[in-house]
Amino acid sequence: MNEALVISNLVLWVVMLALMLAVFALARQIGVLYERVAPMGALMMDNGPKVGTASPVFTLTDLAGCAVNIGAPTLTSTLLFFLSPTCPVCKKLLPILKSTAVSERRWLSIVLASDGDEAEQRTFFRRAGLEAFPYVLSTELGVAYHVSKLPYAVLLDEHGVVRAKGLVNSREQLESLFTAKDLGVASIHDYIDQHA
């Protein structure tokens, strides 16, 4: 009886060690796979002003009543972020935009853009705590950039030139616009294609 108990205990320890090795091997493979998979950048739609060209210039009034110049030369780059109060992904990205506005304030200004019912937009603006951002309502702005899906972002440099743009659904995709600007490419996808 004791012999059977000792043998079963040994077998269980061998099985447990084998399982631990398998988990370690799988974790290592996941790490290798993660390194091999290219980062997914913002999905650039080939509409609107091309990357590297001058942005259309707009002078709009934000919800606070201040004039906002878009596309004109400024002291900092501008991230034009198109959103909607009914877009759940847009709402998910608001805390990311707030932290980005703080961490990148030396070189970046963020302008929120939407269209639709002004009363609904003002309610959303207050409830979401977006008072720190210029928030403009303009159908023409969305048409000029050919925004067809949300959330969409356009990164303009200090001279009003489009440096990156695309559909953004996560922090990584938003940051890919900054990386594309730093690398001097239209998008992360272009960079990967050039270096593949």
pLDDT at residue 58 tops 70 = yes
**Mean pLDDT, the chain, integer:** 90
Query: Average pLDDT of 69-88?
Result: 96
Task: Give the pLDDT confidence score for residue 185 in this predicted structure.
Answer: 86
Task: Give the pLDDT confidence score for residue 34 in this predicted structure.
Answer: 63
pTM of the shown model: 0.78
CA 68, distance to chain mean position in Å, is 22
pLDDT at residue 19 tops 60 = yes
Task: Give the pLDDT confidence score for residue 166 in this predicted structure.
Answer: 92
- Asked whether 185 and 125 are in contact (CB, 8 A), the reply is no
Task: Give the pLDDT confidence score for residue 37 in this predicted structure.
Answer: 57
Task: Give the pLDDT confidence score for residue 36 in this predicted structure.
Answer: 60
Beta-carbon contacts of residue 76 (< 8 Å; ≥ 6 apart): 106, 107, 108, 109, 158
Query: Average pLDDT of 71-94?
Result: 96
pLDDT at residue 136 tops 70 = yes
Q: For the chain, give the percent of residues with pLDDT over 90.
A: 74
pLDDT at residue 38 tops 60 = no
More confident residue, 195 or 77: 77
Query: Other C-beta atoms within 10 Å of 30: how many?
Result: 10
More confident residue, 46 or 94: 94
Task: Give the pLDDT confidence score for residue 27 in this predicted structure.
Answer: 87
Task: Give the pLDDT confidence score for residue 139 in this predicted structure.
Answer: 95
Tens digits of per-residue pLDDT, 105-127?
999 999 999 999 999 999 999 99
CATH number corresponding to 58-194: 3.40.30.10
Task: Give the pLDDT confidence score for residue 105 in this predicted structure.
Answer: 95
Tens digits of per-residue pLDDT, 175-184?
999 999 998 8
Task: Give the pLDDT confidence score for residue 190 in this predicted structure.
Answer: 76
